[in-house]
Structure formats: C-alpha cells, structure tokens
Chain A
Amino acid sequence: MTRSWALFLTARRTGNAVLTLVVLGVIERLLGTASVRFTGNNSFVVPWAVVVPTVAAAAVALASGSATPELEQLTVRNIPRLRLTHASAVVLFATITDYLGTRELGGTISSEAAVRNVLGLAGLALLGATIFGAIWAWILPAVIALISLTAGVTDGTAATWAWPLANNANSGAWVIAVALLVVGLASISARGARAPSPDEDDE
C-alpha cells in the first residue's frame, strides 16, 4: 500500500468502518437465526436481513467523508477515481461480511436479500453522504428501512418501494438496489461527501 493510499484511508477513518463491519458480521453469525420474536399481543419479527444491512450501510457512508475535504480539492491526483475505488472496496467488504454473517438465515428473506440490501442501502447512504454529509448519511437508509418495516407489507406482500423487505428472488428489488448502488457510487465519486460546515467539528 502506498503512503498516499494509507493517508487516504486514514482521512476517512476506514479502519473504524472495517471494524464495525466485522463486528456486525460476527454478531449476525453468532445469532445465527432469521429473527428475534418478541411474543405478546403484537408479535414483531426483526428481519436481520434488513436491520444489519442498514447499519452496514451507515458504516460504509461514515467512511466516505474525508477529514480534510478542502485539501483534497487541491491535489493533483485523480480524486474521483480514488473515491470510487475506495467506496467500491468498502461496499464489497460490507457485502462479504454481511453474506458470511447471514449465511445461516432461513426463510424467504435470507442471505441473498441481505446482500441485495447492503448494495442498495449502501448506495442510498453514499447518495445521502453527497447531499447531507457523511455524518447524516445514515438517515436515508434508516428512513426507508423504518418506513418499510412499519408500513411496507400488505397481505404478506412487500410494496415495490419497500424493496428491502422483498423476497430473495424478487428481481424488481434487485434492479432497484443495483440502480441505487450505481447512483450512490457515481455521486460519491463525482462530488465526494458534503464537507461539514467550516465551524463544525464532526468528531
């Protein structure tokens, strides 16, 4: 690894994101079941294939923001290409850890859906990082996950817009997820994460 790459990764706190993704994968692997069900009058099944990718997407997006955005504007290097490579690599790592963590999941929303959700939600998070900044990048995946979980299913079928809850084989959900990933990667590559206000410290 060249020194410039090492600095590029450090400026984005990529190590924290990698650690978070590994911990998520391990937790998911240890749980090993498709759902946690609180019993009672209203039982609620937590679909891990939606929850874990939402957190993973937030970790991916947090790693998209640079600690020195102004300086990066001055560099002679091809920053958009570096950003694209970096974001793609983090998304790929998130996909692998999520797949390994969710391999034991059963049911109709299992590891395939988890991988699809990582791709789509990460794309959404990267798009959010471009618009709102890395610190708020989690909001778009969280909103779509929350709305989907709360009101996305009617008579056992997920609405098109609630694609994170769609079955593994739902091709429409895959198309949406891949499209979001492409848009997210393109936006983060072209513009980078929105820089925080100059008077703000985003630690």
Chain B
Amino acid sequence: MRYPVAVELRRGEGWWLSALLTVAGTVVALRSVYWHPIVWAASVTAIGTAVEVMGPLAAAVAAYAGGRSRRRRMAHLEQLSDGGTERAATAQLAGLLAWVLVGYHLVVALVYVPTFVSATWGGPDLARTVAGGTALAFDVTVGYFCGRVWRSRLAAPVVAALAYVAIIIGQTMPAIRSIHLLLPTNNDVYDEFNTPNDTTCWSQALWLAAFAAAIFLAWRAAHLMMRRRGLPILALAIAAASVGGLGIASQDSRSNISAVTVAFTCSGDNPVICLHPAFLSTRPAVDAVLDPIAQRLAGTPFQVQRFEQRPRGVGGVPSPGAVAFALDDNRQGSIRLAAQEATVNALALSNSCFTDTGIKPGYDYAQLVASSIAGQPSTFIATSPDEQHARTRFDSLTSAARRTFLTRRAAAIRACNLSAADFA
C-alpha cells in the first residue's frame, strides 16, 4: 500500500488542491476576524467559516480525481493491478485526504498562531477544530465517490454547487436547525460569553468520520461483491455514525453553552470601565471613546460612573447603576459602535424610542443628541431644515450649555419626546 500512496501524494491532484484550499481558507478566516485575531472564540468561529468555502472546492477536486481512471481509459489497468480497483481507490483517496488535511492544518496554524500571540484570554477549542477537519474529510470522500460513479466534465462544478447548497441549507433552514450539524459545516457564532459544547462537536466529528468511512466501505463491499470480511467493519462504521448522529440530536445541535461566568477586568475611577478579559488589548481605544462620553454627561441626570461590556441579548443586563455596551472585535469601527451603544444606553433611549407601532417622532432628535454626546456628530444626517437647524444649534452650545440642555430636558430625552421646539 505504501508505494501507491506515495505516488498519489507526489503526483495526484492533492498538492495543488491543498495550495488552493490554504489560500482560500486563510483569506476567508482572517477576513472574518478582520486580519487581526485577538479573541479565541472569533478565531475558532473563523475556521468554521473557512470550511464553508474549502469544503465545496475540496469536494469538486475529489470528484474530478474520482473520474480519473475512466477519463484516462485506465479502469481495466486498475482492475488488473495488484490489489485491484480497491487498492487504487484507497491510495487515491488517502493521498487526497492527506493533502486536504495539510491545507486545513495550515489554515488553522495561520489563524491560531497570531491569535495565540495576541489573545489575552481563552484558548482554542479542540473538539470544534477537529470537527472542521472531519467535515473536510467527509466532503472529499463524498466528492470522490460522486466522481467514481458519475464521470462527466460537469461532475466537479455540480458537486461543488451541491456541497455549497448543503452548507447554506444547514446554516439557514429552521426546519433542520436541531440537526443541522449532521451536515459538514459548523459556523455557529461562538463568542467569548459562551463555552463550546464539546459533546456536540465530538459527536459531529464522529458522525462525519464514520459516515465517510461507511461510504467507502459500502462502495468496497459492492465493488467486491460483498466480500464477507468487510461487512463487520461496515457495520461498525454505521454503528459509530449512528452514535455520532444521536449525539448531535440529543444536544439539539447546540454547539455552544451560554452563560459562561466571566471575571470582568475593571479600571479607571470616573468612570470605571469593565471589559471582558478577552478584550484587554482594546482598553486604550475603549477608554479613549468612553472617557469623553462620561465627561460630557458629568453633572447631568445621565451621569455615568461605570461602563460594563456585556453580550447582546441573553446576559446583556449590567450591574445596577452601570451602563452596558457590546464590543465585537478590535476594529476602530466596532469601538465607535460600542461608544454609540454606550451613549444610547446612558441616555436610556434603547427602549423608549421604539414602540409596538413603530419609531417615535422624537427619534431623530434623540439621535442628534446621542451622536454628539458619543463624539460622532457626523453619524447623524439631518433630513429636514428643522433637523439641520437643531443640529447647528446643538453643536454651537458650549459644554456647560449642553449639560444644562440635558438636565432641563432629561424627561423628554428619556421618553424620546424631543422636538424641533427644544432646539429653538
């Protein structure tokens, strides 16, 4: 067996497939973390996103490789060779899998090494990373046997398209949401406020690996006219796949467990700013936008003494008296967004401007005030002469006059009832 595998490794389609996958996967993964990974959860999720692109490409090239012997009119030579078609196919598939996994590990290394250097909290998730590699191996195996069965110049692009559609359906169809990890994909968002559900991820790895093995063994059994010695191994693979599949279903396909306990790191005194330890490297940038907000609100009913980073949705409520903000990553745009959120929460606008029937008329004027307090006046775009006048008027106020404005109109701001008359 050693020699055919060595030939496949050296001369098969795998090496250039590996290069293609490495480039495509690395671009997608690093782009997903904005070229500067600092949070392990984001990097682990990025690898899952990369597999979304690598999987269809790997399946396509495997389908092309699967048709090789018939395309070259060498199927009879395979059958006449030592070990026959079974050995040739095993060697070809093994060569492909080896190269694909080399590509996957390169992508993982190119994302995880910079994360390891920059991250201040957490670590890689082994189960989810292994499941990603197993998903690629599954794509290659299925693609390869598609190519063996269907010899056509269209086989590769059609297999790629079907693999991509399967991934998209797995990510989006609510009807299969509870079993979507049976498909070779997992880019469920996993953030620093979650812990990964290793039971699901290991089950997915087992399911995909055993299912791929079962496909290979079933093909071999059919090809060799049901040779008896292969059937027990096939039964074992099917049993293992069943265990993995049941593991996924029993966890309802949840790849995350929410509500991890986080010891926030707080600093500063007026205001105190509390960050998730995974975001400590962003502290100077966060301080630079939140400190001025606290200064602008000092001495008003909206005075802030404590900002706390919190997730959006579940677990998003800050300590009593504190103001929450969410921070997604270390980009300047995300930090500006965090400043906007902090301001909106400090002014208590997040709920008051929105009613069951729609947005209140005072929303635009509340936005005007919030954008100015956040230090981002250009994010407010006036849509009427009244709003333009209000903007000019508010921007021309001194710091003290703004505090007076906020104090006198605190009730109107909280109720989202500001109007043009307030800026006259």
CA distance in complex: A151, B160 (Å): 18
Least distance between B269 CB and chain A CB atoms (Å): 34
Binary flags per residue of A176-203, CB closer than 8 Å to B gives 1, else 0: 0000000000000000000000011111
Q: B57, B71, B156 — which one has the most chain A CB atoms within 10 A of its CB?
A: B71
Q: How far is the CB of B14 from chain A (nearest CB, A)?
A: 15
Determine if B20 is an interface residue (Cβ-Cβ < 8 Å): yes
Contact A43 B172 (CB under 8 A): yes
Alpha-carbon distance A200/B72, docked complex (angstroms) = 5
A9 within 8 A of B: no
B160 CB contact (under 8 Å) in A38, A142, A154, A155: A142
A41→B177 contact, CB < 8 A = yes
A40 and B173 contact, CB distance less than 8 A:
yes
Cross-chain contact B177 with A199 (CB below 8 angstroms): no
Q: Which of B28, B49, B53, B177 meets A40, CB within 8 Å?
A: B177
- Contact indicator B73/A201 (Cβ below 8 Å): yes
Q: What residues of A have a CB within 8 angstroms of the CB of B31 in the complex?
A: 147, 151-152, 159
For this complex, into which size category does the number of interface residues on chain B fall? 20 to 34
CB <8 Å contact, B27 and A151 = yes
Task: State A203–B331 Cα separation when bound (angstroms).
Answer: 50
Residues of A in contact (CB 8 Å), total 29
A154-B174 CB under 8 A given contacts A38-B169, A143-B20, A146-B57 = no
Asked if A151 contacts B177 (CB within 8 A), the reply is no
How many Cβ-Cβ contacts under 8 Å join chain A to chain B? 77
Closest to B27 in A: A147
Complex alpha-carbon distance, A139 and B156, angstroms: 10
Q: Give B159-201 as 1s and 0s: 1 = Cβ < 8 Å from A's Cβ atoms.
A: 0100010001101111001000000000000000000000000
Asked whether A41 lies within 8 Å of B24 as measured between CB atoms, the reply is no
The interface residues of chain B lying within 8 Å CB-to-CB of A159 are 31
- Give the chain A neighbours of B173 by CB distance below 8 A: 38, 40
Smallest distance from the beta carbon of A118 to chain B beta carbons, Å? 17
If the complex has contacts A199-B72, A201-B71, are A154 and B34 also in contact, measured as CB distance less than 8 A?
A: yes
Whether, in the assembled complex, B32 has its beta carbon less than 8 Å from a beta carbon of chain A, the answer is yes
- A135-B153, A150-B52 known; A143 vs B57 contact (CB < 8 Å): yes
Residues of A within 8 A of B168 (CB): 38, 44, 46
Q: Which residues of A contact B143 (CB under 8 A)?
A: none
**Is residue A138 within 8 Å, beta carbon to beta carbon, of the partner chain?**
yes
Chain A residue at minimum C-beta to C-beta distance from B154: A62
Are A138 and B72 touching (Cβ within 8 A)?
no
- Answer yes or no: A58 CB below 8 A from chain B CBs: yes
Known: A146-B53, A155-B333, A199-B72. A38 touches B153 (CB 8 A): no
Closest-by-CB residue of A relative to B331 is A154
Residues of A within 8 A of B20 (CB): 139, 143
B157 contacts A by Cβ under 8 Å: yes
A138 and B24 contact, CB distance less than 8 A = no
A199–B169 CA distance with the chains assembled, in angstroms: 39
Within B1-49, the residues touching A (CB, 8 Å) are: 20, 24, 27-28, 31-32, 34, 49
Question: Which residues of chain B have C-beta atoms less than 8 A from A43's C-beta?
Answer: 172
- Report the Cα distance A191→B231, complex, angstroms: 52
A42 touches B (CB below 8 Å): yes
- Which residues of B (101-124) have their CB < 8 Å from a CB of A? none
Q: Does A39 contact B (CB under 8 A)?
A: yes
For the complex formed, measure the closest distance between the CB of A160 and the CB atoms of chain B, giving whole angstroms: 12
Q: Which of A32-63 contact B (CB under 8 A)?
A: 38-44, 46, 58, 62
Which residues of A pack against B, CB within 8 Å? 38-44, 46, 58, 62, 135-136, 138-139, 142-143, 146-147, 150-152, 154-155, 159, 199-203
Of the A-B pairs whose beta carbons lie under 8 Å apart in the complex, a sample of 22, sorted by A's number, is: A38-B173, A40-B177, A42-B171, A44-B168, A44-B171, A58-B157, A135-B156, A136-B64, A138-B156, A142-B57, A143-B53, A146-B53, A147-B24, A147-B28, A147-B31, A150-B28, A151-B31, A151-B49, A154-B34, A200-B72, A202-B153, A203-B71
Please give me the 5 A-B residue pairs with the lowest Cβ-Cβ distance, nearest first: A38-B172, A40-B174, A151-B31, A151-B28, A44-B172
| Interface set of B (CB-CB < 8 Å, partner A) | 20, 24, 27-28, 31-32, 34, 49, 52-53, 56-57, 60, 64, 71-73, 151-153, 156-157, 160, 164, 168-169, 171-174, 177, 333
